[in-house]
Amino acid sequence: MHSDKDIKYHLDTLCAKDIPSPEKTHAHVLPIHATSAFTYVSIEDSINVFQGKSEGFVYSRYGNPTLQAVEQKLALLETFGTDYTAGCILTSSGLSAISTMAMSFVSQGDAVLTQADLYGGTTELFNKVVAKAGVQVLTVDLNDLDLVESTLKANTHIKLIYLETPTNPTLKCIDIEAIGSLAKKYKVKSAIDNTFSTFYLQQPFTLGIDIVVYSTTKFLNGHGNSIAGAIILKDKSLRKQVWDVMKLMGTNCNAWDAWLLHNGLKTLTLRMDKHCSNATAIAQYLEGHSKVKKVNYPGLASHSTHPQASKQMRQYGGMLSFEIEGGFPTAVNFMDNTKLCAITATLGNVDTLLLHPASSSHLNIPKEIREASGIEDGLIRMSVGIENPDDLISDIEQALA
């Protein structure tokens, strides 16, 4: 803004005019830059910023100081203990992170190789949106490594392998290192949804994965008060390629949600330790209950992919699912009878949350595909909170009675 301290303006002009920030010292807490655009001291300054000759911000859809600070923090956290210099882009939601990432690396005539047992919204995204752009979506059991390799060999137009581990909601774990190795062998990009584990429990970059995506709405934020997503790229030079797609698709995050995410990150390690210990206690309790048919938790020795989880996770996470005897009616009855647990379509909060996948997150997935992935009508997903575990077990016990 040009200097105008000697000009006398009318009252209505003064009402409409912003004044320079009076801040003379640095704020201790990251400020919220609630602005849609940014000003320049001169047109020359504007030209240099637009042409990339000098650093600066243009428009908050392109970038914003609050967003940039949180992106840098996430990139640092994701690569903790490594030599990688990652790039990060915040988006408006976890699903927008997946869609933006996918459209950055595949186009008409290409193919994505993925698994059938993804979060329902991701499956719909690939089959109903990405496929419409002329991209073939191939699904295989990603733990059948011979099948993965033969599929890659037979389909040279595969440009991206996309995986989710542990899976939502059966908590099946996939061999990340093996998938990363095959991706490199066949020169395709690999991307993983690391929402359930976070970088605190699982570091996909160290296992050969190229791209990590998050619904930061979940454990990273942890308090259920904002929606956002993140794309983190092990090769920072790829950030511009993804940024171009984000900017043009308009999938950007905003300063308020980024700031709330930043606040949540401060307690992530404390919360995750408690989520994990509580989930372990509840999984063990459920496994011994006569009315529970099956418990899906990677920390249980009975879980089909427990050895794989032990190999690539530091702890087993705060998510579990369990199938109640009697199917749909008993599952609904259990959820209606809980008093401490909340019924809601999210996860990763400090309080314990329940979801019935067959009637919600996987409602639009064909029944035969859903059940083939272990998502039966009696299955309940539980996002275990940080409450006292004795209170949680008491609530579960009375609801099952």
- What is the distance between the alpha carbons of residues 195 and 118, in angstroms, rounded to a whole number? 12
Q: What is the pLDDT of residue 17?
A: 87
The catalytic position among 40, 61, 273, 395 is 61
CA 61 to chain centre: 20
CATH topology of domain 268-400: Aspartate Aminotransferase, domain 1 (3.90.1150)
Is residue 184 annotated as a catalytic residue, yes or no?
Answer: no
Closest CA to 202 of 184, 193, 161: 193
Q: Which tokens in the block code for residue 246? A: 């984000």
- Decide if 186 is catalytic: no
Burial class (CB in 10 A: 0-12, 13-18, 19+), 52: exposed
Please list the residues that pair with 147 across neighbouring strands: none
Sheet with 87-91, strands from edge to edge, namely: 87-91, 229-233, 211-215, 189-193, 158-164, 111-114, 136-139
| Exposure of 221 in the CB half-sphere (CA atoms within 13 A) | 24
Is 146 assigned a catalytic role? Answer: no
Please identify which of the residues 110, 117, 119, 200 carries the catalytic annotation.
119
pLDDT score for 375: 85
Task: Single out the catalytic residue among 172, 218, 271, 370.
Answer: 218
Predicted pLDDT at 143: 96
- List, in sequence order, every residue forming a beta bridge with 296; answer none if it has no partner: 321
Domain boundaries, the chain: 46-265, 268-400
Which residue in 110, 117, 175, 193 is the catalytic one?
193
What per-residue confidence (pLDDT) applies to 1? Answer: 43
**Cα separation, 32 vs 381, whole angstroms:** 35
Q: Is 3.40.640.10 the CATH number for 46-265?
A: yes
Query: Is residue 236 flagged as an active site residue?
Result: no
CA distances from 277 to 5, 102, 203, 280 (A): 61, 35, 20, 5
Query: Got the DSSP string for 229-282?
Result: EEEEESSGGGHHHHHHHHHHHT-B--HHHHHHHHHHHTTHHHHHHHHHHHHHHH
From first to last of its 401 residues, the chain has per-residue pLDDT tens of: 455 667 899 989 888 888 778 878 889 999 999 999 999 989 999 999 888 899 999 999 999 999 999 999 999 999 999 999 999 999 999 999 999 999 999 999 999 999 999 998 999 999 999 999 999 999 999 999 999 999 999 999 999 999 999 999 999 999 999 999 999 999 999 999 999 999 999 999 999 999 999 999 999 999 999 999 999 999 999 999 999 999 999 999 999 999 999 999 999 999 999 999 999 999 999 999 999 999 999 999 999 999 999 999 999 999 999 999 999 999 999 999 999 999 999 999 999 999 999 887 777 677 787 777 788 899 999 999 999 999 999 999 999 99
> Same topology for domains 46-265 and 268-400, yes or no?
no
- Spatial neighbors of 359 by CB under 8 A, at least 6 apart, are 328
